[in-house]
Amino acid sequence: MRIAIAGGHGQIARLLARRLVEAGHEPLALIRKPEQAADIEADGATPVVIDLEKTDDAGLAEVLTGCDAVVFAAGSGPGSTPERKLTVDRDGAILLADAAVQAGVTRMVVISSRRADTFDPDSDDIFQIYLKAKAEADAAVRAHDDLDWTIVRPGGLTDDAGTGQVEIGENVEGSIPRADVAHLVAELIMSGRGVHQQFEVVSGPTPIAELPL
């Protein structure tokens, strides 16, 4: 399979790409900075330099043509402005969904955030704006009738070693290693499971391959 990963130089994205490569698949890492290409190539993935804040759906669709799936793993990152929470975390995901449909790619997995729908619409707090961006992006993806989407909403992210075991649900409490988020997303893509499902995920007792998806 050929899988395009938006936000391809992020921690989860790189863990995902390595896992996909090991399984015999071909990840394309969509990156904003050319100097990140060497890291991507070291992971065994193919770098594609494209800025989601500066391209349009037609330009991105051209990149996605021939892919079997897309993953939204991009984020504006800590310390970014409220404006970039919207242009990256929200608009980037919507752009990827629109471009995927144009390119004939039906499978999309979105890495979102736990409790995204609980944002305070009247708050100017940066975290509330982040949650708003994620919630609005998720809603736009869910509205695409032509997409086989899955929305994964992780709890607090850690750099601990992955355990391969998680808990999923509409509302779950806790944290999760980035490695386990990457493991879960890879499982969703390779197995085709979890279509039209949205769930939160944290560390837990259930092996990822045995999740009731």
Mapping DSSP onto H, E and C, the string for 67-97 reads: CCEEEECCCCCCCCCHHHHHHHHHHHHHHHH
Tell me which of 130, 154, 168, 181 is the catalytic residue: 130
Q: Is 197 a catalytic residue?
A: no
Largest CA distance in the chain: 47
**Three-class secondary structure of residue 65 per DSSP:** coil
Q: What is the dihedral of CA 112, 14, 150, 48, to 10 degrees?
A: 100
Q: Regarding beta strands 165-169 and 197-203, do their DSSP bridges make them parallel or antiparallel, or are they unpaired? A: antiparallel
Paired with 6 in beta bridges are 30, 72
Write out the DSSP string of 84-144.
Answer: HIIIIIIHHHHHHHHHHHHHT--EEEEE--TTGGG--TT---HHHHHHHHHHHHHHHHHT-
Which positions are catalytic? 130
